[in-house]
């Protein structure tokens, strides 16, 4: 029995006691999967496991509080679940976690870029085939072959958690993480190399096309305040509705700072952005600072306390400046 078939069997066994189990199914075309909410055995038969499972199902968990649900997770998704547990936004006895070892997912914007250089679009896809090294997308009559490493999501190129960090039912043998590839941090490397005025220009350039749809916020599993977000409230009044770079960048800073010490870099914010704005860079930079100052990584230990919710009387890495 394949791993996927075994997983389906385990889910069907658990289903009677659960409101639903969240996973992925085929989407509207061969390049898209979409989240699946399994409530019956027929639903479970639709479950898919492939590099197209890009969505983070942990985002659906907080509203189910009070009910028992199951969730199928990749390694990165499980970190979001752990972070939610840490903050008591979900109860451990109300979730059943199903895990499989993950070989990584694709970044569709990279696939689209490869197709564009061949003169075709993803919207003309006719066939998709892949093995663990290459993926071949046939679109508009052309077969375009791509290396998996070229179109994998950045987070997969430096993934240290290919297996669920917490699981009730784990199917398959855990795989060892590979050494992180420097290409995975191309965004931070580029920003580090820029001068301060260049970085201001960078955010001005990218935030100009932001449409303030809040897809970045709503795709984030940790942003549970979405219905009451201070970015849209009048009391307190942080932001106006003005369509300016200053307001839009301020929202990104609010989002990033509210995630400091909580963000697991699942990358959903950037993937969800319909305008392809590199919003994840801000959170990655903050996480690097949190790691340097407090030697802390979010979403690994459910019993840990996030660093900004605690303190040390003598800090290891914060020294007073002279005046």
Partner 1 sequence: MPVLTGKELRIVGFLCNWCSYGGADTAGVGRFNQPTDLRIIRVPCSGRIDPLFIVKTLLNGADGVLVSGCHPRDCHYAEGNFYARRRLEVLKRFLPILGIDPGRFDYTWVSASEGQRWQKVVTVFTEQIHALGPAPRHATVAPELLAKVAGVLSQGGNRVAA
Partner 2 sequence: MAAVKYIASEKLPEWLKALASERRVLVPVEEGGGVVFRPFDPARQPVFGSDATAPPKAAVFPACQELFRYENGKDPEDAGKPTLNIIPTIEATPTVVFGAKPCGARGFLIFDRVYQGKKFPDPYYTAARDATVFITMACATVENTCFCNWVGSGPADTAGSDVLLTPIAGGYLVEAVSDKGAPFLDSPLLTDGAAKTAEAEAVRTKARESLAPAPDIADAPAALLAAFDDMDFWRDQSDKCISCGACTYLCPTCYCFTITDETAGNAGRRMRSWDACMHFQFTLEASGHNPRPTKAHRLRNRVGHKFSYYPTLHEGLIACCGCGRCVKSCPVSVDIREIVQNAVARAKA
Pairwise CA distance, residues 323 & 222, whole Å: 39
Burial of 113 per CB tally in 10 Å (0-12, 13-18, 19+): middle
Q: Give every CB contact of residue 73 below 8 A, 6+ residues apart in sequence.
A: 57, 58, 81, 97, 98, 99, 164, 167
Among 249, 268, 290, 298, binds partner 2 (CB under 8 A): 268
Among 2, 40, 121, 189, binds partner 2 (CB under 8 A): 121
- The DSSP code sequence of 102-170 is ----B-HHHHHHHHHHTT--GGGEEEEEE-SSEEEEEETTEEEEEEHHHHB-HHHHT-S--S-SS-SEE
Task: Show the site string, 255-294: x = touches partner 1 by CB under 8 A, - = not.
Answer: -xx--x---------------x-x--xx--xx--xx-xxx
| Listed residue (277, 282, 235, 281) closest to 254, CA to CA | 282
- Residue 230 C-alpha from the chain's centroid: 22
| H helix or E strand, kind and range, residue 69 | strand 69-73
| Residue 290 contacts which entry, partner 2, partner 1, none (Cβ below 5-8 A, type-dependent) | partner 1
* CB closer to partner 2, 38 vs 298: 38
CB of 119 to partner 2, least distance (A): 8
| Listed residue (76, 65, 69) closest to 17, CA to CA | 69
313 is an interface residue for partner 1 by CB under 8 A? yes
Among 121, 145, 147, 178, binds partner 1 (CB under 8 A): 121
209 is an interface residue for partner 2 by CB under 8 A? yes
Pairwise CA distance, residues 211 & 215, whole Å: 10
CB of 314 to partner 1, least distance (A): 9
Task: Show the site string, 128-157: x = touches partner 2 by CB under 8 A, - = not.
Answer: ------------x-----------------
Q: Label residues 39-74 b or e (16+ Cβ within 10 Å = b).
A: eeeebbeebebebbbbbbbbbbbbebeeeebbbbbb
| Residue 90 contacts which entry, partner 2, partner 1, none (Cβ below 5-8 A, type-dependent) | none
**Binding piece for partner 1, criterion CB under 8 A, among 91-99, 129-137, 192-200, 213-221:** 192-200
Residues that bind partner 2 (CB under 8 A): 20, 27-29, 32-37, 55, 59-60, 109, 113, 121-125, 140, 205-206, 208-209, 211-215, 217-219, 226-228, 232, 234, 240-243, 268, 271-272, 274-278
Residues that bind partner 1 (CB under 8 A): 107-110, 112-117, 119-121, 186-187, 190-191, 194, 196-205, 207, 238, 244-246, 249-250, 253-254, 256-257, 260, 276, 278, 281-282, 285-286, 289-290, 292-294, 307-308, 311-313, 315, 318, 320-321, 323
């Amino acid at each position: 029995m394949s791993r996927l078939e075994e997983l389906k069997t385990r889910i069907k066994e658990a289903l009677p006691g659960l409101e639903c189990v969240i996973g992925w199914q085929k989407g509207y075309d061969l390049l898209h999967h979409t989240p699946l909410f399994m409530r019956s055995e027929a639903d479970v038969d639709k479950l898919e496991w492939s590099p197209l499972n890009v969505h983070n199902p942990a985002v659906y968990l907080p509203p189910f509080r009070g009910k028992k649900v199951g969730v199928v997770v990749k390694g990165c998704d499980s970190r979001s679940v752990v972070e939610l547990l840490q903050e008591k936004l979900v109860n451990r006895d109300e979730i059943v976690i199903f895990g499989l070892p993950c070989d990584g997912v694709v970044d569709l914007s990279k696939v689209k870029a490869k197709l564009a250089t061949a003169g075709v679009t993803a919207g003309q896809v006719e066939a998709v085939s892949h093995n663990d090294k290459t993926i071949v997308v046939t679109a508009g009559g052309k077969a375009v072959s791509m290396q998996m490493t070229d179109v994998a999501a950045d987070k997969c190129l430096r993934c240290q958690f290919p297996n669920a960090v917490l699981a009730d039912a784990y199917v398959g043998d855990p795989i060892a993480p590979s050494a992180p590839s420097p290409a995975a941090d191309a965004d931070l490397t580029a920003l580090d190399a820029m001068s301060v005025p260049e970085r201001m220009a960078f955010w001005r350039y990218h935030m100009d096309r932001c449409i303030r749809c809040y897809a970045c916020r709503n795709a984030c599993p940790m942003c549970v305040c979405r219905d009451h977000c201070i970015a849209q409230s009048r009391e307190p009044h942080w932001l106006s509705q003005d369509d300016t770079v200053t307001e839009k960048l301020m929202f990104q800073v609010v989002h990033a700072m509210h995630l400091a010490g909580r963000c697991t870099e699942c990358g959903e914010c950037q993937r969800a952005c319909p305008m392809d704005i590199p919003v994840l860079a801000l959170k990655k930079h903050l996480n690097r600072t949190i790691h340097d100052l407090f030697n802390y990584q979010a979403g690994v230990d459910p019993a840990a306390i996030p660093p900004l919710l605690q303190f040390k009387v003598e800090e290891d890495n914060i020294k007073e400046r002279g005046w």
